Chains A and B, each alone.
Chain A
Amino acid sequence: MRKILDRYAGYVFLLPWLIGFLALTLVPMGMSFYYSFTNYNLLSAPKWIGVSNYVKMFTSDYHFMNALKVTFLYVFASVPLQLLVSLVLAFVLNKGVKGLSLFRAAYYVPSLLGGSVAISILWRQIFGMEGILNQALGLIGIESHVSWVANPDTAVWTLVLLRMWQFGSPMIIFLAAIKQVPAELMEAAAIDGATKFQQTRKIMLPMISPIILFNLVMQIISAFKVFTESYIISGGNGGVLDSLLFFTLHIYNEGFSKMRMGYASALAWVLVLIIAVLTVIVFFLSKRHVHYD
């Protein structure tokens, strides 16, 4: 008995994962793909309607187009800005500062709390009509009585700012990567007469380029998945003129408010496809600029 148990130990240890993978990932993926071709409200059996759900997105669901626009704007504005801030700060902190660990901790706190409901509530107040931003603007003589989160032109930018605020976690990864670059390389360049700027551009950046790519991909994926901020700051309805309707909130509203399980599944697959295609594009484009080893 003991021998048998020992021989198949691999599967015994793997059992929880195997069950989880089959029952909670693989089968649901198949079902979700099937549902995306059906009309399904949970109460009656799914009804096959072919590609109607996918056609509907592009023809009669104006929320879909809005959600797509808002989400893309958010991702492509916030991720590069966030990474830029984190990279610059990583360089500054790397050069030796008194109280480095304290600064690192302070800058990391927003990343720690950023995705929470509490911070979204705070953001709603800061950029609200009577929020502290308008109060502060009043102090320097600029009268503003517009809510930044209710104004469709500015709403999504408050969320871009919220993401930039969370520059701490990519910064910590950059810091660790910079520390790994051999000091001799920089010294050799300095002896050859390279300026600080040249050293950074020609040696440091190529050396840490795999980490930049890694952060870029991870942050793009995580930005596409943002839900809490969109829900809380817009009050769950996507905001004025859908200006805060992120793709995930649209999926939630269709699936779990309106009980359109088939349509929500189709939307989810479009999201997966977008993320997959973008990841591939980023990897492809970066081939020339990323140096491994």
Chain B
Amino acid sequence: MSKKRKLGSRIKFICLLVFAAIVLYPLIWMISSSFKEESTIFSDLGIIPGAFTLENYRIGWQSNGRVTFTTYFLNSLLVSVLSVVGNLISCSLTAFAFARLKFKGKNLFFALMMMTLMLPQHAIIVPQYVYFYKLGWLDSFIPLVLPKFLATDAFFIYLLVQFIRGIPRELDEAAIVDGCSKYSVFFRIILPLCQPALVTTTIFTFMWSWNDFFTQVIYLRTTQNYTVTLGLRMFVDPTAKSAYGAMFAMSTLSIVPILILFVFFQKQLIEGIVAGGVKG
């Protein structure tokens, strides 16, 4: 029995390993192809480049020649970092109000907030575009970043509310007895204790902004303001001649920040998915 079981578990282990290899093969092939010579990419299914070259990276980085990926990466970084800052500030303030403070209309507001969780962005994108057009903010980062400072990502509010509810109330009450205002309770007690949830918020916000395509393709026009996703899109323009080597090289670079975050914050990421059932 135990021998049979041992064999069974070994077979299962090998099956899972083979399955993992199949699942990850396309990704690994892309990364390896970015180091292959352009002419060999199509015929070579292997994952070890025959002749290792960095030429694809040199060509790809040039983009259209006038604006390079240096600009795109800096723009993406700026948009993502500002989004993170916005979400951290606005979502933690909102979550504290919902989780700890008493005020009129709280239940109604909370219900409305939860409803926005389900609302597709498409329902409001046209009027938002009209707003930003009238304010003269098209082709700038404001439409991408400003909503984050106004707590429009309900998911993180929900995540933080759940987290704050888990912090013992006695802590705030003791502080208030000692003469703390609600503001110092937030800054001195709740915020420091929220750190794990704030880390989750940071990682997800960064990754989502980094990968965002829909909002960026709508609002950004000139290549000077392009982000990495828009820089990549230029490769698939029907007018551009397709250079797969360069395309794979830049695609690979574009996912590096995400993979780094994943390696370092795997635990928080997985806890975040479980906590909210996020689509990663």
Given A17-B150, A225-B121, A228-B214, the answer on whether A235 and B23 have CB atoms closer than 8 Å is no
B274 at interface by CB-CB < 8 Å: yes
Judging by beta carbons under 8 Å apart, are B94 and A116 in contact?
Answer: no
Judging by beta carbons under 8 Å apart, are B94 and A17 in contact?
Answer: yes
Judging by beta carbons under 8 Å apart, are A20 and B273 in contact?
Answer: no
- Residue interface mask A112-130, B partner, CB < 8 A = 1: 1111111101111110001
Judging by beta carbons under 8 Å apart, are A14 and B94 in contact?
Answer: yes
Judging by beta carbons under 8 Å apart, are A112 and B16 in contact?
Answer: no
- Interface segment among A55-63, A65-73, A263-271: the answer is A263-271
| B:105-128 near A, CB below 8 Å | 106, 109, 112-113, 116, 118-128
Judging by beta carbons under 8 Å apart, are A10 and B102 in contact?
Answer: yes
Given A169-B279, A173-B277, the answer on whether A104 and B270 have CB atoms closer than 8 Å is yes
B266 at interface by CB-CB < 8 Å: yes
Complex interface: chain B residues within 8 A of A8 (CB): 103
Judging by beta carbons under 8 Å apart, are B232 and A5 in contact?
Answer: no
| Nearest neighbor of A115 in chain B, beta-carbon distance | B211
| A:16-45 near B, CB below 8 Å | 16-21, 23-25, 27-29, 31-32, 35, 42
Min distance, Cβ A85 to any Cβ of chain B, angstroms: 10
Judging by beta carbons under 8 Å apart, are B262 and A124 in contact?
Answer: no
Given A117-B254, A118-B254, A165-B23, the answer on whether A218 and B16 have CB atoms closer than 8 Å is no
Min distance, Cβ B80 to any Cβ of chain A, angstroms: 13
C-alpha gap A86/B207 in the complex (Å):
23
- Residue interface mask A151-185, B partner, CB < 8 A = 1: 00000000000000110110011001000000000
Min distance, Cβ A105 to any Cβ of chain B, angstroms: 6
Min distance, Cβ B121 to any Cβ of chain A, angstroms: 7
C-alpha gap A236/B238 in the complex (Å):
9
- Residue interface mask B127-160, A partner, CB < 8 A = 1: 1111101000000000000010111100001000
Min distance, Cβ A7 to any Cβ of chain B, angstroms: 9
A76 at interface by CB-CB < 8 Å: no
Judging by beta carbons under 8 Å apart, are A16 and B45 in contact?
Answer: no
Judging by beta carbons under 8 Å apart, are B211 and A116 in contact?
Answer: yes
Judging by beta carbons under 8 Å apart, are A42 and B133 in contact?
Answer: yes
C-alpha gap A169/B120 in the complex (Å):
20
B189 at interface by CB-CB < 8 Å: no
Judging by beta carbons under 8 Å apart, are A10 and B97 in contact?
Answer: yes
Judging by beta carbons under 8 Å apart, are B274 and A107 in contact?
Answer: no
Min distance, Cβ B111 to any Cβ of chain A, angstroms: 12
A221 at interface by CB-CB < 8 Å: yes
Judging by beta carbons under 8 Å apart, are A268 and B251 in contact?
Answer: no
A-B contact pairs, 21 of them (CB 8 A): A5-B181, A14-B103, A21-B151, A24-B124, A28-B124, A92-B12, A97-B12, A111-B279, A112-B262, A118-B232, A166-B280, A169-B280, A173-B273, A232-B233, A235-B238, A252-B217, A261-B129, A271-B120, A271-B123, A272-B122, A279-B118
